[in-house]
Amino acid sequence: MKVEEKIISILNDLAKKDPDAIKTLLATMPATNNKVLSDYDVKMRHHDYPTIGIITILNKVIEETGKKIKINYKIEGFSGAFELVGFELEER
């Protein structure tokens, strides 16, 4: 099994076994510095500063494959509740 496939398999297994823990892990986005911006896919959502998360790190591990990790989720229209469906690979 290729590394990127193994990562997706592990993420999907964890998402099935404990979706709340994985959602919390995905939501953990600590601030990072400008040195990281040039080499990593860093997000600037809802902040004036860059943040980094676990998917950014995992995507750096598999970068040379030409693929990246996609998070699949559903959002309940009325309440806005977020349901983690799973993970898959997609082309960069």
The tens digit of pLDDT for each residue in 60-75 reads: 999 999 999 999 998 8
Q: What is the pTM of this model?
A: 0.84
Task: Give residues with Cβ within 8 angstroms of 74, minimum separation 6.
Answer: 82, 83, 85
The domain of 72 spans 3-91
Task: Write down the pLDDT at residue 38.
Answer: 82
**How would you write the pLDDT of the chain (92 residues) with one tens digit per residue?**
899 999 999 999 999 999 999 999 999 989 888 888 888 877 666 777 888 999 999 999 999 999 999 999 988 878 777 889 999 999 99
CB 66 within 8 A of CB 92: yes
How many folded domains does the chain comprise?
Answer: 1
